Amino acid sequence: MKTATVSLIALMWTCVNIQIAAVHQRDTDHFIQAIQQIEDSSLEVSPLSIVRSLRRAAGHDNAFTQSFLGAIDSDSESDILKTNHSRDIEAWSLEFLRFFDKAIHNFVTDAREERGVVLTPDGTTVALAPLLQGIEAGLKARSQGLHPQDLHLLTLARTLGLSFLHAYNTSSAERLGPDGCWDNITAPMVFKLLGAPSLATDALINGGMDGALLGVRLSEGAEPHPKLSELLQSYYHFQLGEAGLDKAPRLVSPRRRENYRKLVPPSLLEETVLKFLEDRHPSEELKKAVKEGVQDFVLRYLDCPPMIPRCQWGAQTPKGIPVRLSPPLRFLYIHHTEIPSSPCLTFHQCSRNMRAMQRFHQEERGWQDIGYSFVVGSDGYMYEGRGWGRQGAHTRNHNAFGYGVAFVGNYSASLPTQHSLNLVRHRLAKCAVTARFLQANHTVQGHRQVVAGTTCPGDALYSEISTWEHYREAESPNATAS
186: contact with ligand NAG by CB under 6 A: yes
441: contact with ligand NAG by CB under 6 A: yes
Choose between 21 and 339: whose C-beta lies nearer to ligand NAG: 339
DSSP state of 295: H
State which of positions 151-180 bind ligand NAG (CB under 6 A).
162, 165-166, 169
State which of positions 336-355 bind ligand NAG (CB under 6 A).
338-339, 341
As a whole number of angstroms, the distance between CA 75 and CA 78 comes to: 6
439: contact with ligand NAG by CB under 6 A: yes
Position among 412, 422, 434, 454 found at the interface with ligand NAG (CB under 6 A): 412
Chain-centroid distance, C-alpha 94: 31
State which of positions 69-128 bind ligand NAG (CB under 6 A).
83-84
DSSP state of 187: S
As a whole number of angstroms, the distance between CA 125 and CA 127 comes to: 7
- The one-letter amino acid code at 37 reads Q
413: contact with ligand NAG by CB under 6 A: yes
Position among 67, 397, 418, 463 found at the interface with ligand NAG (CB under 6 A): 397
Choose between 259 and 337: whose C-beta lies nearer to ligand NAG: 337
187: contact with ligand NAG by CB under 6 A: yes
Closest distance of CB 213 from ligand NAG, Å: 26
Angle between helices 28-41 and 87-104 (to 10 degrees): 140
Question: C-alpha distances in angstroms, 44 versus 73, 115, 221, 380?
Answer: 18, 31, 21, 38
- Looking from the CA of 437 toward its CB, the CA atoms found within 13 Å total 19
Closest distance of CB 362 from ligand NAG, Å: 18
- Looking from the CA of 390 toward its CB, the CA atoms found within 13 Å total 18
By CB under 6 A, the count of residues binding ligand NAG is: 22
Contacts of 398 (CB under 8 A, 6+ apart): 331, 333, 450, 451, 477
Number of other residues whose CB lies within 10 A of the CB of residue 289: 18
Measuring CA to CA, which residue among 246, 409, 406, 419 is closest to residue 342?
A: 409
Closest distance of CB 85 from ligand NAG, Å: 9
Closest distance of CB 172 from ligand NAG, Å: 10
261: contact with ligand NAG by CB under 6 A: no
SS3 assignment, position 115: strand
Part in contact with ligand NAG (CB under 6 A); list of ranges 52-60, 100-108, 210-218, 470-478: 470-478
Residue ranges binding ligand NAG (CB under 6 A): 83-84, 162, 165-166, 169, 184, 186-187, 338-339, 341, 397-398, 410, 412-413, 439, 441, 476-478
